[in-house]
Chains A and B, each alone.
Chain A
Amino acid sequence: MIIDVNAYLGRWPFMPLKYETAKDILALMDRAGIDKAVVTSLNSVFYYNYEAGNFELCEVCKQYSGRLIPFAVINLNFVNWRDHLRECVDKYGVKGVKLHPDYHKYSLLSNDMSKLAEEARKLNLPIFIQTSLLDMRHHPGYCFVPETSILEVAQVINQYRENVFIVGGGKHFSSTVQQLLRYASKNQNFYISSDGLGGPFDCIERLIEQIGSSRLLFGTRMPILYAEASKLMIEKSDISEDDKRKILGENAKKIFSLIEE
């Protein structure tokens, strides 16, 4: 089974991408041969009221529960984020938390992050930290958003060792991952989403040599990126078929079944 851990529904505000709805994303999944996708709401990143984006997403996911797995975006700048997260889990069966500290402008070192880590442990939810949605060099000048510091991400991983983290990112993500591995080298409680790993030419092989295949997850960041780019990179890499199966779905399946336990 092929599971994409990093897809989005909703509107990309900077250009029409043509793929915004659940049906659009399902069509992209079918084209790329993806069985299930973790989806989060782009509207939750950009709306004034991020909760509205999560509710839209959760309603849609109810119709496609066999294929779309909802993660709720949490904005720690909103006082009652905990109530909202509870509602998303209790009412809609949300399977994880997605953080965009870059757009939402909060620090991962805040007290609220500590409370979120505790809440996520209680609810058995992985926390996905997306350090950037897009290579900063392509941000329009009127909306330049510096990506989340990987040092903060490493600090969070080191601090909350009982939590499960997934990390995805933007500009030169392979280099960023190398920094992360250096600063959080003692911990195994984090996974890397593959969507930002666009290079070097042998980056998948090199990363597997370093961390093994159990901690890399197939992610696409569709519709912002082409889903096939990340999938083909894994499928055509010089690693074993067993490793490919793990990355493309088995690892994610394991994380989600752990959650269900």
Chain B
Amino acid sequence: MIIDIHVHIPYRGLEDVEVGWREKFERMLIAAQKAGIERQVILGLSSNNEFIRELVDKHRDKLIGFVRGCCTDPNAPVIVERFVKEYGFRGVKIHAEPNWPLSGLLSAHAIFLKAAELNVPVVIHSWHDEEGLTHEARTLIIQEGFSFPVRIIAELGRRYPDTKFVFAHMGGMWAKALNAARPYPNIYFDTSGFDPERGIIESAVEMIGADRILFGSDAPGRSYISQLAKVKYADIGESDKRKILGENALKLLKEVS
């Protein structure tokens, strides 16, 4: 079974859905099916988790909901609990928010503890590590508030051993991120969102093992087919591919208490 751990509702900006998103999502479902993806995890990108709930309710056999954990909302742990317990959501998504950059991740303490209590994973957007970049590079590639310090991966792994974290996009600067995560079995990565570059999946398997890598596409922004090719055509064993494409996700998502 192929499970896509990283899919978005069609969005505009970070906090709003696109006009005509329902129709577009129906087309996404067809495209995913055509690609051979059986289940998709829909991540709450905007703070309006109700849209995700609507989709999941409509397509229970195909979709799994992850609730957006809004780190600036003191009520976030309560919301997370409600969506998991009452609506069957299976995880939490954390992203940068207006006036809340990802460098402030440690302040999401209460959400991390709640996720551990509920035994649901926390997917965290991760990409732009500023460390080691020139000023020019920072200016060109890092959006305001999106800076993600890779060192925080190790910090979270150490501080919250009972919380399962999935860092999206292979942590962005993947070699550094994988290196930071190596000692922490509670840290996972998804494969979503970057071009089908040879060598990244292979390196990830080599550095942390296939058990902690999950297939994700980042659709609709990315092509399901192209993203799947990264795993299907990687120079890794067939059993590792099966783990990455679905078995690991199945295990992680089934462990919900």
Contacts and interface: CB of A to CB of B under 8 A. Distances in A.
A228 B232 contact: yes
B19 interface: no
Interface stretch (B56-64, B116-124, B126-134): B126-134
B134 A200 contact: no
B137 A198 contact: no
A122 interface: no
Nearest to A235: B225
Given A136-B141, A226-B229, A196 B31 contact: no
Contacts of B104: none
A229 B229 contact: yes
A229 B226 contact: yes
Contacts of B133: 141, 144
A173 to B, nearest CB: 8
A226 B223 CA distance: 14
A199 interface: yes
Report which residue of B27, B197, B222, B230 has the largest number of chain A beta carbons within 10 angstroms of its beta carbon.
B197
B132 A198 contact: no
A139 B223 contact: no
Contacts of B31: 201-202
A259 B136 CA distance: 40
Contacts of A141: 131-134, 137
B127 A137 contact: yes
Interface in B207-229: 217-227, 229
A232 B232 CA distance: 12
A226 B235 CA distance: 10
B172 A225 contact: no
A236 B34 contact: yes
Interface size class of B (residues with CB under 8 A): 35 or more
Contacts of A199: 218-223, 226
Contacts of B220: 199-202
A134 interface: yes
Contacts of A202: 27, 31, 220
Contacts of A227: 233
Interface string A122-143: 0000000000001111110110
A134 B200 CA distance: 13
Interface in B93-109: none
Report which residue of B31, B172, B219, B234 has the largest number of chain A beta carbons within 10 angstroms of its beta carbon.
B31
Contacts of B227: 198
B225 A236 contact: yes
Interface in B31-50: 31, 34-35
Given A144-B136, A225-B196, A226-B196, A201 B224 contact: yes
A233 interface: yes
Interface string B21-36: 0000001100100110
Contact of B225 (A16, A135, A232): A232
Interface string A168-198: 0011000000000000000000000000111
A228 B230 CA distance: 9
B198 A146 contact: no
Closest 3 CB pairs of A and B: A141-B132, A229-B196, A229-B229
18 contacts: A17-B198, A137-B127, A141-B131, A141-B137, A144-B133, A144-B137, A196-B195, A199-B226, A200-B219, A200-B221, A200-B222, A201-B31, A224-B198, A226-B229, A226-B233, A227-B233, A228-B233, A236-B35
